[in-house]
Amino acid sequence: MIGKVLVANRGEIAVRVIRACRELGIASVAVFSEADREALHVLMADEAYPIGPPPAAQSYLRIDTLVAAAKAAGADAVHPGYGFLAENAAFAEACAAAGLVFVGPPPAAIRTMGDKTAARRIARELGVPMVPGTVEPLAADDDGRAAARAIGYPLMIKAALGGGGKGMRLVREEGELEAALRMARGEAAGAFGDASVYVERYVPEPRHIEVQVLADAHGHVIHLGERECSIQRRHQKLVEECPSPLVDATMRERMGEAACRLARAAGYVNAGTVEFLVDPDRAFYFLEMNTRLQVEHPVTEMVTGIDLVREQLRIAAGEPLGYAQADVAWRGAAIECRINAEDPLGGWLPSPGTITGLRAAAGPWVRDDSGVYEGCTVPRFYDTLLAKLIVWGADRPTAIARMARALAEYKVVGVRTTIPVLAHVVAHEDFRAARLSTHFLERTLPDLALAKGRRRSVAIIAAVLAEYERLGRRTLPEPPSDAAGAWRSGLRPGWRGGLAK
Ligand code: MV4
């Protein structure tokens, strides 16, 4: 039985976990750095403990401090969220050693899947399709030539302990191999404390499709279908959806079955995600397994009706799933947009600061998973994710129209956000026709620069019309209310936020 959970995270995911706890009658304990004293997750939790200075290395990444806070609070369990220590086997072990339930997989499963070559060896054993390449790290003195000739060019060098695109290098021909290998090893050593790398054939124009799995401690493993995550920029996803418009029931069953077999072979328990690359012929290849709850988990929740955080807590408490694969049904379509405090029209730089005005989207089938409130300050020390806007519709076109509507309602003033780019994506004919690839954004973003120029023109035309109206006012009938349509640009008439700046 779990009666109290310490949430070892911040922002929207800490809020998400606190909400699930409250619905289950579980007490929640927040932790906060000096930059997060008045953060939303602190205001929402039942209790909150300070854990140190703003840099994450001195607060949210301190295993000793977090375990001490959990013990001091009398917590039974620790939920790691995503990022920070969520895929750190030593943290899971430290929790267990302190008598705390880690709401996540066993340390051995984290470690196995954290080594991408170990994961590839499991996939090979099981006959799960994967990108051709090595299943062992290259030896420290290996120049990679033999492996590269066997695989063929172009190829990718990846960090064995990497993932999520960090430490990856594309090699088009043998002449580039030596330098790329040196850089990849250096990056891997710096980022992951281990210079080990492996080699894979490069899949051009891939789509990124991942499968959600749930495994309980009683040997039940099921999948909840896929998410399409192809709209991304530099390995940061912007828009995700469930189901993938590319995947039919047969492909879902094949990918889901492969994901379940991988999870089972790794001794996996709790919620996890198996990533695949899908080529233009719809062949899928195992890429890696993420041993955490993912940012984009809500789209799966909206389409399956299953609360993934609730399931994580139930599984961690030792409860059986209580339903089987045949009980999982997928209904309609869900889309998630990530609202980040970044300035896409200014080089995508982070945009920390105080949120002076905020109006979230609402209405039918709209969900706002946010970590901020009007008046709060967005620190510069962490991930820029402010909120996730999620919508559901009976089908994909309905969900897209709803997302466009919801993005137009969403207003954030005081910090720059990615909302204009998200609106661009969901309005684009290629997105609407499901012509998705990981290159979507770089291919279509010049359109956004045009839109910026167009906005300026609209502002000038509006100013000229207003002046004409002022001059002619005496002879014209009473004008309509200024308030009509004011919501498009702000919370109140005359209050100009976001795009109008
Ligand atoms: C690849 C690939 C092409 N071929 N591997 C990027 C994130 C990491 N999980 C793996 N990634 C890729 N691995 C081979 N053999 C292309 C990518 C890739 C990518 C994958 C998923 C989502 C977005 C991406 C953007 C660029 C490259």
Segment 218-242, tens digit of pLDDT: 999 999 999 999 899 999 999 999 9
Task: Tell which residue, 354, 350, 360, has the closest CA to residue 378.
Answer: 354
Tokens of 461: 């035309």
- Which residue from 120, 168, 239 has its CB within 8 A of the most atoms of ligand 1, so it is best to mutate? 168
Average pLDDT over every residue of 260-271: 98
Q: How far is CA 183 from CA 19, 61, 116, 136, 153, in A?
A: 43, 27, 19, 19, 18
Cα–Cα distance for residue pair 315/203, rounded to 1 Å = 36
Distance 447 CA to ligand 1 centre (A): 25
pLDDT band of residue 163 (cuts 50, 70, 90) is confident
Tokens of 33: 């750095």
Residues designated as active site: 292
- Which residue from 202, 233, 292, 438 has its CB within 8 A of the most atoms of ligand 1, so it is best to mutate? 438
- Asked if residues 177 and 144 have their Cβ atoms less than 8 Å apart, the reply is yes
> In angstroms, what is the C-alpha Rg of the chain?
24
Average pLDDT over every residue of 443-456: 67
Does the Cβ of 3 fall within 6 Å of ligand 1?
A: no
What global pTM score does this model have? 0.92
Cα–Cα distance for residue pair 117/233, rounded to 1 Å = 26
pLDDT digits (tens, 9 = 90+) for 368-403: 999 999 999 999 999 999 999 999 999 999 999 999
pLDDT(450) > 60? no
pLDDT at position 113, please? Answer: 98
Does the Cβ of 452 fall within 6 Å of ligand 1?
A: no
Tokens of 425: 């994506």
pLDDT band of residue 34 (cuts 50, 70, 90) is very high
Give backbone dihedrals phi and psi of 323, rounded to 5 degrees, phi first.
-150, 160
Does the Cβ of 206 fall within 6 Å of ligand 1?
A: yes
Residue nearest (by alpha carbon) to ligand 1 atom 12: 165
